[in-house]
């Protein structure tokens, strides 16, 4: 199955890109920075990736076989979905492919690339509303409990006044 967007952008090639000695991505490989970068993003399962809409912003975590560790990547906009890879458009709409799987020399899958899609603003708003409604319900339950306690205390006070 292949999903392609109609307009073809320019492909990123090694001879067009001057790589700095240290990239911004390389400075972002700690847990705190990655968590911050993935705020308002949700992980997409490998199966569900096939159903992500074209032009959805994706970030991902790939695997570096040489250093045997996962690497966070900023990603880009989803342009094409294939069985073994996806094509993203990054800075200046330059396109690049991202392997969905890392394989060893025996062609066995040793790592599945983890993709994260940006949560739509409407979904974030719905989540905020749900959290607010939960908070309001807790507050209302607390108010009902306090009203009951006040009623009980008034009864106790009346009984104390009657005894005098």
Kindly provide the residue ranges of all beta strands, DSSP E only, lying in the chain, ordered along the sequence: 3-4, 41-44, 57-64, 69-81, 85-89, 95-99, 101-103, 109-112, 114-118
Contacts of 44 (CB under 8 A, 6+ apart): 52, 58, 115, 116, 117
Task: Give residue 16's pLDDT.
Answer: 65
73: nearest Cα among 98, 55, 49: 98
Contact between 113 and 61 (Cβ < 8 Å): yes
**In the structure encoding, which two tokens stand for residue 128, read together?**
């905020």
| Distance of alpha carbon 35 from alpha carbon 139, whole angstroms | 31
The continuous run of DSSP H or E covering 138 comes out as helix 121-163
| Distance of alpha carbon 81 from alpha carbon 89, whole angstroms | 12
99: nearest Cα among 109, 90, 69: 109
pLDDT in tens, 122-135: 766 677 788 888 88
pLDDT in tens, 13-42: 555 667 778 777 777 788 999 999 999 999
Task: Give residue 4's pLDDT.
Answer: 42
pLDDT in tens, 43-84: 999 999 999 999 999 999 999 998 899 999 999 999 999 999
**In the structure encoding, which two tokens stand for residue 61, read together?**
């975590």
State the virtual CA torsion across 102, 104, 106, 108 in degrees, nearest 10: -40
């Amino acid at each position: 199955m292949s999903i392609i967007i109609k307009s073809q952008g320019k492909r990123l090639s090694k001879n067009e890109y001057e790589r700095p000695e240290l990239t911004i991505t390389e400075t972002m490989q700690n847990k705190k920075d990655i968590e911050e970068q993935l705020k308002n993003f949700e992980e997409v399962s490998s199966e569900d990736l096939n159903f992500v809409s074209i032009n959805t912003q994706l970030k991902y975590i790939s695997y570096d076989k040489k250093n045997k560790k996962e690497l966070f990547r900023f990603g880009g906009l989803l342009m094409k979905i294939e069985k073994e890879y996806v094509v993203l458009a990054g800075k200046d709409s330059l396109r690049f492919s991202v392997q969905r799987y890392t394989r060893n020399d025996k062609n066995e899958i040793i790592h599945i690339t983890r993709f994260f899609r940006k949560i739509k603003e409407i979904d974030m708003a719905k989540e905020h509303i749900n959290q607010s409604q939960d908070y309001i319900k807790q507050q209302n339950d607390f108010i009902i409990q306090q009203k009951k306690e006040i009623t009980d205390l008034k009864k106790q006070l009346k009984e104390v006044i009657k005894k005098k």
